[in-house]
Each structure stands twice: as structure tokens, then as C-alpha cells.
């Protein structure tokens, strides 16, 4: 009796969710990647205003504005592509996590009431999604999975 209950409440739902797990990981990779890629593309296409923002608005700790703008834009353009392909996904997620944290820290002083700006909620969501990718991996619909299957090592 208990075995049937456990099977119906635990094992059956787990089997059903397992069917969509890789698609869900792919959707997360595309969603998070798109959010950062858009920001990087905008920075790249309006470099003059990007430099002004990093010079006067964004306070990136430990980096001069030019280096911060270049590194931030690079991260926002390269790491999402790696996420989309699913290549070095965990490292790309960690890289975007760093970009995400630096972005939040660099604009904190603009908001006198702390982290209550609604835009910070997006950063929290993206951060949690990237933590999921970091700890659980990209799923089977990724270059990481294909490469690990060929080399017979776990990804």
C-alpha cells in the first residue's frame, strides 16, 4: 500500500518531469542569455553613451570605467552565446553571475532606498536561474552533453 502511494505521489511525477527537464534547461539558457545579450548589444551599438554611463553613472569597484565597460560588454556578449550553445555552460553561468553581481553593485548608490527598485527583482531571478545551471548543468540539449558523451566523462 505504501509502495503504491510513494510510486503515485513521487515516482510518477518525477518520471513525467524528467521528460521536460532538458527542454526546461534549454529555455532557461536561452532566456537568461537573451537578457544579457540584449544589454551587451545595446552597449556595443551605443559605445559613446556606454562610456559616459560607466564614467559618470555606474560605479564599478576596482576597475577604471573603460575597463569596466569593455569587460562588461564582453561578458554580456560572449557568455550568452556559450549558454545558448551549451558549451562550457557552468563556466558561462558563473561568468554571467559575476557580470550580474557587478551590475547590481555598480548601480546601488543610485537607489537611496537600497534594493527596492523593481529591476533588481530581474537580477535576482536571473541569478537564481544561473545558479541552477551552475549546479545542475545544461541538460542533454547542449554541446557539453554531446562532448561528454563522446569522451565518456560526466559533464
For 93-138, how does the pLDDT look when each residue is reduced to its tens digit (9 = 90+)?
999 999 999 998 888 767 665 556 667 889 999 999 999 999 999 9
- Residue 38: inside a domain: yes
Asked if residue 14 is part of any domain, the answer here is no
**How far, in Å, are 17, 24, 35, 75, 119 from residue 142 at the CA level?**
19, 12, 19, 20, 30
Give the whole-angstrom CA distance, residue 5 versus residue 114.
48
Enclosing domain of residue 113: 21-151
Inform me whether the pLDDT recorded for 155 exceeds 60. Answer: no
Residues 6+ apart with CB under 8 A from 61: 102, 105, 106
Q: Is residue 5 part of a domain?
A: no
Q: What is the largest CA-CA distance in the chain?
A: 69
Total of domains in the chain: 1
| Residues 20-51: tens digit of each pLDDT | 999 999 999 999 999 999 999 999 999 999 99
Confidence at residue 4, expressed as pLDDT on a 0 to 100 scale: 83
What integer best gives the mean pLDDT of the chain? 90
Specify if 2 maps to a domain.
Answer: no
Amino acid at each position: 500500500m505504501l509502495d503504491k502511494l510513494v510510486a503515485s505521489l513521487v515516482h510518477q511525477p518525477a518520471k513525467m518531469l524528467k521528460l521536460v527537464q532538458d527542454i526546461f534547461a534549454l529555455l532557461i539558457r536561452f532566456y537568461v542569455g537573451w537578457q544579457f545579450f540584449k544589454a551587451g548589444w545595446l552597449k556595443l551599438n551605443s559605445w559613446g553613451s556606454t562610456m559616459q554611463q560607466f564614467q559618470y553613472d555606474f560605479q564599478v569597484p576596482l576597475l577604471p570605467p573603460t575597463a569596466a565597460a569593455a569587460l562588461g560588454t564582453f561578458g554580456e556578449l560572449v557568455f550568452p552565446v556559450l549558454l545558448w550553445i551549451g558549451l562550457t555552460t557552468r563556466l558561462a553561468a558563473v561568468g554571467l553571475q559575476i557580470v550580474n553581481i557587478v551590475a547590481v553593485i555598480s548601480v546601488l548608490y543610485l537607489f537611496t532606498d537600497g534594493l527596492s527598485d523593481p529591476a533588481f527583482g530581474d537580477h535576482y531571478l536571473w541569478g537564481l536561474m544561473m545558479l541552477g545551471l551552475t549546479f545542475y548543468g545544461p541538460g542533454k540539449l547542449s554541446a557539453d552533453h554531446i562532448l561528454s558523451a563522446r569522451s565518456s566523462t560526466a559533464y
